[in-house]
Amino acid sequence: MSYTTLRYRGTSTLIILGILSAGLVGLAQADETCVSPYSPKILGQEDVAYVWTLGVEGIGDEQDKLVTVDTNPDSTNFGQVIHTVSVGGRNEAHHSGYTDDRRHLWAGGLDTSKIFIFDVHSDPAAPKLEKVVEDFVKASGGVVGPHSFFALPGRMMISGLSNNADHGGRTALVEYTNDGEYVETYWLPTDDNLQGAEKTGNYADGYGYDVRFLPAKNIMVTTSFTGWSNYMMDFGKMLTDEEAMKRFGNTAVVWDLHKRQPLKVFDVPGAPLEIRCAWGNNYCFTTTALTSKIWLIYEHREQGWTAKEVGTIGDPSQIPLPVAFSISSDDRFLWVNTFMDGSTRLFDVSNPFEAKLVETFKIGSQVNMVSQSWDGTRLYFSSSLLGNWDKKDDQDEQFLKMYRWDGEKLSKGFEIDFYEQKLGRAHLITLNARALFDGNMASVPAMTGALAATRSDD
């Protein structure tokens, strides 16, 4: 028997709960270190990786699918695809996220705005499509492009990318129950409707992209990207369209988490994408796709919540296009992927106000998502950014690659060619473990409920 630690980042403390299980296990949402603070944290070896994959015309069944890969080094199927679930048609498969009890994985399509809910607890090695939410746009009041899925106690917060009025970047957060029932829509603040928020810079564009929580500070943070008319456009065509290039977000917003009320709007020029929040500290990082910067969102002693540029990623004039990144569990490092040069960069952020480049590693002709194990010794990379933005011809590599990190170098553990196996374009990676539901997991919802009870809605 081995000792497995579950961690919860609560509203005021880090609660550590030890349980006995059949083996060390690991779990992730986008990457293990960016799981919702309201979800149980399981440390150890992941057994499977789920890859939310875009269907491609003329390849395999041409459908979006959830691909399961065996990641347990003791398995005879290590590094192999062991299961797939196709969802019917092509929806621009993009991001996914677990519910707070880890029993279901929600995955969205940016084109059709459908949401696919998979049962990942009955048999983690063989997920089942349990429910499809097809009325997201209607129920939400016009939100298009469900992007991030981030768990609250018994709820799912979903960030949108667009709207059905003009297919631009104006959008909202949308809250659902874990059962897939609509709760409420929270539109992002704009110049003509700040909703009580303080505009601290030049912009209040109402654009959205990612969402994350800092429960200890009762804070929710959102970033901004672009609308349907841009993300569904051919990338090369968009780069030469002057009007299209004006339609990118330049803001981050800090919200009152409990009231779902926007508090401050900050200028973060150049399309701030992913957000990664620290585990032992109350701040978050974001990176800007078009200006290649690292920004820190933190609480200043005098100014209150604010945003500050703290690092540069590559040569901004070359637009390396920073995309996904991952924070280490000790808050010391960031792995930052740049799509155009197919590289990942390791930054030392032990001083969060000064991100220092440690090393650059080439992963492929293009790279998008990165996921890391809690102990930081395993990293997973996937290739697809968006169906119409991926590179062309022989530069359009589609893969899942796993590397081991020893603190100095990356060594490849396995690689799967998604085109060769007729699977499609590999996008988001989430990790799971068969032993997750084998132990005494009855304590998980009780603990989550205890955390929720400490919140105040006043």
CA distance 179 to 154: 9
| pLDDT in the model for residue 41 | 67
CA dist 359 to 8, 95, 336, 418, Å? 31, 28, 11, 28
| pLDDT in the model for residue 437 | 67
CA distance 3 to 278: 25
The answer to whether residues 293 and 228 touch, using CB atoms and an 8 Å cutoff, is no
CA distance 106 to 96: 5
**282 half-sphere exposure, CB direction, 13 A CA radius:** 19
For residue 225, is it left (φ>0), alpha (ψ between -120 and 50) or beta? alpha
- What's 225's DSSP letter? -
Give the residue from 96, 98, 84, 97 showing the smallest Cα distance to 55: 84
Looking up tokens 């810079």 gives 201
Q: Which residues of the chain carry a pLDDT beneath 50?
A: 1-30, 440-458
Token pair belonging to 402? 């796993």
| pLDDT in the model for residue 32 | 67
For residue 290, give every residue at least 6 positions away whose Cβ sits within 8 Å of its Cβ, in sequence order, or none: 248, 269, 270, 271, 319, 321
- What's 79's DSSP letter? T
CA distance 71 to 73: 6
| pLDDT in the model for residue 205 | 98
Helix or strand run (H / E) with residue 228: helix 228-231
E strand intervals along 366-436: 370-372, 378-382, 399-405, 410-417, 425-432
Task: List pLDDT tens digits, range 324-354.
Answer: 999 999 999 999 999 999 999 999 999 999 9
Token pair belonging to 408? 């100095």
Pairing relation of β-strands 155-159 and 149-152?
Answer: antiparallel
Exposure of 398 by Cβ count < 10 A (0-12 exposed, 13-18 middle, 19+ buried)? buried
The answer to whether residues 294 and 313 touch, using CB atoms and an 8 Å cutoff, is yes
Give the residue from 271, 266, 270, 262 showing the smallest Cα distance to 193: 262
Q: Considering the entire predicted model, what is its pTM?
A: 0.90
Q: What are the extents of the domains in the chain?
A: 47-440
| pLDDT in the model for residue 145 | 98
CATH of domain 47-440: 2.130.10.10
